[in-house]
Structure 1
């Protein structure tokens, strides 16, 4: 299974709701992830451009897209971003494969 980093920024209204009634959002999203064949590996609050970060293991891009669409449809997020993660070994293999492509830039 592949790893993904999911980042999301709450709306002002979602923050107001959390302040009035704090909730463990990891426990709220875990069933959605599991319903799509995935596993929530970790969940963090992150103060900056995005408010929460989740590391998710999932079988494929479609499963993670379904999660992202479900969260976006809920209306509590003003922005979200999903990033496919690769292990160091996968990154090194990608570089090895790239070196064998023979690609030359324009004019090169």
Structure 2
């Protein structure tokens, strides 16, 4: 099977998350990222909303990543939004707006 439109950097949103940011980070570690940052925001109704920016060592397609989440969150994976990142620096700035204690590891460069 081919990896259609593989990318190294993804921005992931999990609205009304059923897990905390530590569990979500642990689920991302399967991909052996070079860099990740996972943050939690609160919706107006107080429910958690997770965001993550990830830079992988290898390229992965959106479909491949979503299949991984489908296995872990079979009832909730359809809410997870996965998009390629154009500027990891801008994505990281966006993630830094609310969560004072993000989960972050690795190094990044602002290139694809």
Alignment TM-score, normalising by the size of structure 1: 0.50
How many residues in Structure 1 have an aligned counterpart in Structure 2?
Answer: 78
More helix by share: 1
Q: Residue 29 and residue 40 in structure 1: after superposition, are their counterparts in 2 closer, same or farther (change >3 A)?
A: farther
Q: 1:60 — aligned with what?
A: 59
Stretches of structure 2 lacking an aligned partner (at least 5 in a row): 1-6, 90-109
Which stretches of structure 1, 4 residues or longer, exceed 6 Å deviation after superposition? Answer: none
Alignment of structure 1 residues 33-52 onto 2, 5 Å: 33-39=28-34, 41-46=36-41, 47=43, 51-52=49-50
Judge conservation of contact 1:32–1:67 (CA < 8 Å) in 2: no
Superposition RMSD in Å: 3.4
Shift of 1:8: 1.4
Q: Residue 54 and residue 61 in structure 1: after superposition, are their counterparts in 2 closer, same or farther (change >3 A)?
A: same
**Rg (Cα) greater in structure:** 1
Shift of 1:77: 4.6
